[in-house]
Structure 1
Amino acid sequence: MAKTDWIRCPKCGSKTRTMIREHTVLEDFPLFCPKCKYTCVIRFKDGKMEETVPEKA
């Protein structure tokens, strides 16, 4: 079974509501943090997350 983990908010570091597996690939994925209400667009590949464009509220 593949290992799963929560994506963490790039701003506050808390868990978001999105869960990923080891080999997940995301491109231009809108990520929302329910704790700090931060929204951004991310890329996730090879276990590394990169914030591409912060969205304006």
Structure 2
Amino acid sequence: MKEQEQQSSHWVHCPICGAKTKTKVNEDTILIRFPLYCPQCKKEFRVDIVQLKMVMSK
């Protein structure tokens, strides 16, 4: 059997309040203009995530 690469996954946090959302990403995940919903703020944000770095979309 082949050994599979172990990819660590990380929870995405709200860019405003810092609360953990229900979205999980891996190190190789690329999200462009992703609609991220925060259950604590009850708001939706458009974010870009590349190599675990998140920025707000314009």
Q: Same fold (TM over 0.5)?
A: yes
**TM-superposed deviation, 1:51:** 0.6
- Residue 28 of structure 1 is matched in structure 2 by 33
How many residues end up aligned between the 2 structures? 53
Which amino acid counterpart does residue 57 of structure 2 have in structure 1? T
Q: Give the structure-1-normalised TM-score.
A: 0.86
Q: Give the structure-2-normalised TM-score.
A: 0.84
Give identity over the alignment, percent: 38
Aligned-residue RMSD, C-alpha = 0.9
* Structure 2 unaligned spans of 5+: 1-5
Correspondence list, 1:1-57, <5 A: 1-53=6-58
**Structure showing greater Rg:** 2
Question: Which stretches of structure 1, 4 residues or more, deviate above 4 A after TM superposition?
Answer: none
